[in-house]
Structure 1
Amino acid sequence: MSTHIVVGVDGSVPATEAVGWAAADARRRGLDLRLVHVGPQWLHDGNAEHCARMLEEAAERARAVAGGVKVTTELLSGNVAEELIRESAGADGLVLGSRGLGGFAGMTVGSVSLAVAGHAAGPVVVVRTAGTAGHGTVVVGLDGSDDSRAAMEYAVEQARARHARLHVVSAWQVPVFSPYAVAYGGLIEDAVREEQAAARERVTPWRQANPDLVITDEQPCAHPVSALMDAAGTADLVVVGSRGRGGFASALLGSVSHGVLHHVTCPVAVVRPRAEERS
């Protein structure tokens, strides 16, 4: 079992927020913290002292938040996304700022965060702003896929560590029918009721397995991204699978997780089942 969280540090404001978020998470869940800065060798050769100082400042911030948590730092050379993905293999999770110093100011989520979220071995938390509201709610999207079940497991752990309510969102959309399909209205209504019932039923085993948690659920008729955006307004963390039932098998980051990363402002966790967890 992994015993540490990895945080990518680059001196940007979102990365600084990510350090604070990860330190608080490590304290709550009793995990160590590993801060890494990745850059090409030529950059480190000329700026090793600057990079080391940046890491140490991040470590001091982390220790101030995390208390007695063990905090270590390391300078790594190579491609940023590739090195962070490699780090994820041995970590409980990976935490990143939404975009780094190299990103365009108008972008909400940078290319590195998107690449890592789609390829990392486990949970990736992308932090735009850590937030201080303390809503006491973790929101998770559940659609029955392997990825959403892994997301539920992570969300349960987060809710328990935070003593928070877990709110499960299972959004669905009415299929678009030809105007000549009016005669099938009753069948459509039956299908909608069956989908809602199946979504509610998917939550039942999680309630039974976690009687210590308050688990609420909803089945809105809306696009999943819109439904999760609405729920995120009073959430401390939104958790989604990397891709759901509607995704292509080759797509490592589905449209819902991609949309949530771009539009939800609170921290977002994207969870892929580890290789041994896939059914």
Structure 2
Amino acid sequence: MGGDDAECMKNPPAVDSASGADGARVVVGVDGSENALVAVEWAAAEAARRRLPLRIVSCYSVPFYGEPGMIGTYAIENQVEAIKNEHEGFVHTAIERAARVAVHLKVDSIVTLGSPTTVLPQAVECGGEVVVGAAGRSGRLADVIGSTATAVCHHTAEPVVVVRTTSSRKGSSLKKIVVGTDGSECAAEALRWAYEEARLAGASLVVLHCWQYPYGDPVSGEEDVRRRMQADASAQLADAVARVSERAEEDGVTLSTRLVEDLPGKAIIATAADADLVVVGSRGRGGFTSLLLGSVSRSVVQHAPCPVAVIRQPAT
């Protein structure tokens, strides 16, 4: 993203130091919408928490025209310049909004021709994260989040935080974080990220594990089977939490666990009723299914009352 199609704005004063990896930053996309500005506020607070610079990205497209009998298409030069200038205005407004949250945050910006679903993943470095705004929907589309947010979640190796303007708790202050775990390596990565977020924010961390009795009709020895399943689930939860519990007191993290017999998505959403952030893991897929979030992640992102961080499973 360089050359004539990209332009960096002037930077506000920088913080003196950063604790992240070299090149790591928080990246947020803007498009002139209120959704995006809410995401900018969250991203600015997150960058300040992690002592990382903030990068604000705005992507634009240009209309191409064709005439009967002509081969190919063309764009009107002054129209292209007007579109680019409009997006530079979006970025300027976003920088002002970020400064209200963190005055001394180091900020740079990119205005570029391209799709946010490809530009945003490319703009973040290892150790950083992407923040996107999304509008919720109702009715038959209640389980569909914005196409940009969905695509960014699946094309970004780093954590992606989705901030929906319809969330009842979309503020940038973090006091309670909820993370789901299921014993997988993907969930372990989500727990590691959530723990670090809680440590940096001084927030409490609730680790949730769900289990389900698979039989709808009574069967012989049902209670015994239930007890064993619950015991297995409890052991998985204890094993997951053991990875971070030894450090919790020293790090000042108030750690608690919840073992719930219910569907994971439903239980996470219910537990997050008074949370400020939910963290879920995503294993990621290839091919056509990479366009879709997993059922649990999709449900949580769409219905959680707060921002949701989607953590990808590390490549093996």
> Is the pair's TM-score, using the shorter chain for normalization, greater than 0.5?
yes
Gaps of 5+ in 2: 1-20, 64-78
Q: Is the Cα–Cα contact under 8 Å of residues 135 and 234 in structure 1 kept in the other structure? A: no
1:71-90 C-alpha deviation (Å, 9 max, x unpaired): 11111212221222222345
1:1-279 equivalences in 2 (<5 Å): 1=21, 2-42=23-63, 44-90=80-126, 92-99=128-135, 109-129=145-165, 131-132=170-171, 136-176=175-215, 179=218, 181-211=219-249, 212=251, 213-243=253-283, 252=290, 253-275=293-315, 278=316
Residues of 2 paired with 1:64 and 1:25: CA distance? Answer: 13
Q: Is the Cα–Cα contact under 8 Å of residues 88 and 121 in structure 1 kept in the other structure? A: no
The verdict on how the C-alpha distance between 1:31 and 1:89 changes in structure 2, with shifts beyond 3 A counting, is: closer
How many pairs does the alignment contain?
A: 270
Q: Is the Cα–Cα contact under 8 Å of residues 5 and 91 in structure 1 kept in the other structure? A: no
Letter matched to residue 109 of structure 1: I
Letter matched to residue 111 of structure 2: L
Q: Is the Cα–Cα contact under 8 Å of residues 182 and 236 in structure 2 kept in the other structure? A: no
TM-score using structure 2 length:
0.77
Q: Is the Cα–Cα contact under 8 Å of residues 176 and 203 in structure 2 kept in the other structure? A: yes
Q: Is the Cα–Cα contact under 8 Å of residues 131 and 160 in structure 2 kept in the other structure? A: yes
Shift of 1:38: 1.1
Residues of 2 paired with 1:248 and 1:221: CA distance? Answer: 27
Shift of 1:58: 0.5
Task: Please give the secondary structure, in 2, of the residue aligned with 1:109.
Answer: coil
Q: Is the Cα–Cα contact under 8 Å of residues 9 and 37 in structure 1 kept in the other structure? A: yes
1:21-51 C-alpha deviation (Å, 9 max, x unpaired): 0111111221100000112244754312111
Residues of 1 paired with 2:172 and 2:84: CA distance? Answer: 37
Gaps of 5+ in 1: none
The verdict on how the C-alpha distance between 1:114 and 1:149 changes in structure 2, with shifts beyond 3 A counting, is: same
Letter matched to residue 243 of structure 2: P
Shift of 1:149: 1.4
Residues of 2 paired with 1:34 and 1:151: CA distance? Answer: 23
RMSD value over aligned CA atoms? 2.6
The verdict on how the C-alpha distance between 1:91 and 1:7 changes in structure 2, with shifts beyond 3 A counting, is: farther
Q: Is the Cα–Cα contact under 8 Å of residues 210 and 233 in structure 2 kept in the other structure? A: no
Task: Please give the secondary structure, in 1, of the residue aligned with 2:206.
Answer: strand
Q: Is the Cα–Cα contact under 8 Å of residues 113 and 126 in structure 1 kept in the other structure? A: yes
Q: Which has the larger radius of gyration?
A: 2
Task: Please give the secondary structure, in 1, of the residue aligned with 2:98.
Answer: helix
Q: Is the Cα–Cα contact under 8 Å of residues 24 and 124 in structure 2 kept in the other structure? A: no
Identity of aligned residues (%): 35
Residues of 2 paired with 1:74 and 1:50: CA distance? Answer: 13
Task: Please give the secondary structure, in 1, of the residue aligned with 2:131.
Answer: strand
Task: Please give the secondary structure, in 2, of the residue aligned with 1:182.
Answer: coil
